[in-house]
Amino acid sequence: MSTFDPDALECLAAIVEEGGFERAAQRLSITQSAVSQRLRALEAQVGTVLIVRSRPLKPTSAGQLLLKHTKQLRLLRADLERDLKELAPSSTGSGREEERISIAVNADSIATWALGAVGDLARQGLPLEIITDDQDFTHEWLREGQVLGCVTTLRQALRGCKVVPLGAMDYIAVAEAGYAKAHVPQGLTPHNFRGVPFIAFNRKDDGQTEFVGKAFGLKRVTLNQLFVPSSEGQVRAVLAGWGVSILPELLVRGLLEQGTLVDIAPGHKLPIQLYWHCWNLESDVLDALSTALTRAAGTALTNP
């Protein structure tokens, strides 16, 4: 089997992760011409095209395989760095940009429990990169080899990966107290939900329609929606009286206790089961990440 130049592999990863040759060159502190040369050399060695020069740039199937291989090499280096620090605590890591350890986590988990889970690892110097996406789509980052683990709603383990149930995040319908009194004084019902705007994360977010459908026994639901691509931003939009939203109870608990927000559909919750998927590899770093996430989820989320 061929041995691939680590610099060329990191060049491929930089092109994909940064979305272009110019930004990859900036990250690697080399010229754009050198980036192109390294990629061409790697493609010549593999015997096929590795990058689709589209907008945005995308790796080919072969490119995805090499990208996954590059991530695995990063993980091995991170394991080595961790072991060396235990033997020589005064030693410092390389700190190179390309040494990042990437995971994909849904925005609501980032806004509530996940950052606290990995805080100790970050403070210990783990070069962590957290990529955010909707919980129904984070596993695609893992499937494509761009991250080594993800928090997702997918229950079945991906090929070459292991899966651990984390627990359920409960979602409830909320509105600012004054807005609720003016627009849904009787609470959210099957008869008035079409008359208020719902603030969703983005067009991938089907949590709003799923909540209404399950709460009122409706098979097809059409909502008037606004989009705010931030969990904290959705809360601020609700507080500003933009409309109502289906948000994690964990995120708005304090505002509910203060009476600033109100639950406009009491007795109705949408539990979203979350799972941690990661590569099935022997790695101290990966084990530490898995342990930190599952431990924090066990405290913050309801039982799986």
Contact call for residues 226 and 202 (beta carbons, < 8 A) = no
Residue 88 has pLDDT above 60, yes or no: no
Residue ending a domain, among 46, 67, 97, is 97
> Measured at the alpha carbon of residue 120, what is the angle toward residues 101 and 283, in degrees to the nearest 5?
45
- Evaluate whether residue 235 is within a structural domain: yes
Would you call 303 helix, strand, or coil by DSSP? Answer: coil
- Evaluate whether residue 110 is within a structural domain: no
- Evaluate whether residue 108 is within a structural domain: no
- Evaluate whether residue 103 is within a structural domain: no
Residue 44 has pLDDT above 60, yes or no: yes
- Evaluate whether residue 43 is within a structural domain: yes
Contact call for residues 233 and 245 (beta carbons, < 8 A) = no
When divided into structural domains, the chain yields a total of: 2
Q: Point out which residues pair with 272 in neighbouring strands.
A: 169
- Evaluate whether residue 69 is within a structural domain: yes
Contact call for residues 24 and 12 (beta carbons, < 8 A) = no
Residue ending a domain, among 97, 114, 148, is 97
Residue ending a domain, among 66, 81, 97, is 97
| Residue 217, CA distances (Å) to 64, 174, 265 in order | 42, 19, 14
- Evaluate whether residue 65 is within a structural domain: yes
Helix (H) / strand (E) element for 17: namely helix 6-18
Rounded Cα gap, residues 79 and 29, in angstroms: 25
Contact call for residues 253 and 284 (beta carbons, < 8 A) = no
Query: Which residues, other chains included, contact 170 with Cβ-Cβ below 8 Å and sequence gap of 6+?
Result: 248, 249, 250, 269, 270, 271, 272, 302
Average pLDDT, the chain: 89
> What is the model's pLDDT at position 85?
67
- pLDDT tens per residue across span 227-281: 999 999 999 999 999 999 999 999 999 999 999 999 999 999 999 999 999 988 8
Q: What is the CATH number of the domain that holds 42?
A: 1.10.10.10
* pTM for this prediction: 0.76
- pLDDT tens per residue across span 5-17: 888 998 998 898 8
Query: Which residues, other chains included, contact 163 with Cβ-Cβ below 8 Å and sequence gap of 6+?
Result: 154, 155, 156, 157, 275, 276, 277
> What is the model's pLDDT at position 172?
98
Largest CA distance in the chain: 69
Ranges 49-63, 183-197, 239-253, 270-284: which has the least confidence: 49-63
Higher local confidence (pLDDT), 256 or 56: 256
> What is the model's pLDDT at position 95?
46
Pairing between β-strand 128-133 and β-strand 101-106 as defined by DSSP bridges: parallel
Report percent pLDDT > 90 for the chain: 60
Q: What is the CATH number of the domain that holds 196?
A: 3.40.190.10
- Please check whether residues 5 and 88 belong to one and the same domain: yes
Ranges 115-119, 145-149, 172-176, 201-205: which has the least confidence: 145-149
- Evaluate whether residue 279 is within a structural domain: no
Mean pLDDT of 38-46: 90
Report percent pLDDT > 70 for the chain: 93
Domain enclosing residue 57, as ranges: 1-97
